[in-house]
């Protein structure tokens, strides 16, 4: 039989980060694992470049250009706004000029500005919304958090309506004749 005692969370130590209520800056970028693909691309281009250098040596630049693109492209979300760094441009968007964010069927998110223009947000997808919500300090809502809260509220309402007591101890299945 298990004890009715609940586990006690560990006490905070000097290594435990302090919970912050202010927004933090989030850098959303392409995974560094992409450099592995750049290395494989270099190996693929190396063969024709060594076989016929006069015709294919220019192709050796391609993997390095792809690696530079991986390093450059990112979206930085912080307390001051959003900075979108694309291949050849950098766009700074303040929170007061941001009207909303649109997620197209394909590609990265698009920020809609108050003047109805759109700016691409590199590497931002719908799955990155929790990061955006945390970094924006609540200016961008997190639908995942709202869904979790609704699910918890629904479960709480159901337990209150049924009068059932939810416990952490497993049910005794040996005494129940229907469970066999």
The distance of Cα 89 from the centroid of its chain, to the nearest Å, equals 23
**pLDDT surpasses 70 at 22:** no
Taking all residues of the chain, what is their mean pLDDT, rounded to a whole number?
85
The distance of Cα 142 from the centroid of its chain, to the nearest Å, equals 11
Question: Residues 77-132: pLDDT tens digits?
Answer: 999 999 999 999 999 999 999 999 999 999 999 999 999 999 999 999 999 998 89
Q: How far apart are CA 97 and CA 115, in angstroms?
A: 8
Helix locations, the chain, DSSP H: 34-51, 53-56, 62-72, 129-136, 143-162
Q: How far apart are CA 63 and CA 59, in angstroms?
A: 8
The distance of Cα 29 from the centroid of its chain, to the nearest Å, equals 10
pTM over the 0.75 mark: no
CATH topology of domain 26-161: PH-domain like (2.30.29)
Written as six digits, the tokens of 165 are: 């007591």
DSSP assignment of 62-98: HHHHHHHHHHH-EEEEETTEEEEE-SS-EEEEEGGGE
Q: How far apart are CA 100 and CA 114, in angstroms?
A: 9
């Amino acid at each position: 039989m298990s004890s009715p005692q609940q586990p006690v969370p560990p006490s905070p130590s000097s290594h435990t980060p302090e919970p912050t209520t202010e927004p933090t800056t989030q850098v959303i970028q392409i995974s560094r694992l992409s450099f592995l693909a750049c290395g494989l691309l270099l190996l693929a281009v190396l063969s024709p470049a060594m076989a016929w250098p006069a015709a294919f040596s220019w192709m050796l630049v391609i993997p390095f250009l792809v690696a530079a693109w991986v390093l450059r492209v990112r979206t930085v979300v912080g307390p001051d706004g959003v900075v979108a760094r694309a291949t050849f441009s950098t766009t700074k968007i303040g929170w007061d000029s941001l009207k909303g964010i649109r997620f197209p069927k394909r590609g990265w998110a698009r920020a809609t500005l108050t003047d109805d223009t759109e700016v691409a947000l590199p590497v931002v997808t719908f799955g990155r919304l929790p990061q955006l919500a945390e970094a924006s300090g609540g200016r961008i809502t997190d639908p995942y958090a709202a869904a979790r809260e609704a699910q918890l509220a629904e479960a709480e309402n159901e337990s209150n309506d049924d009068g059932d007591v939810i416990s952490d101890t497993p049910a005794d299945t040996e005494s129940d004749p229907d469970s066999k």
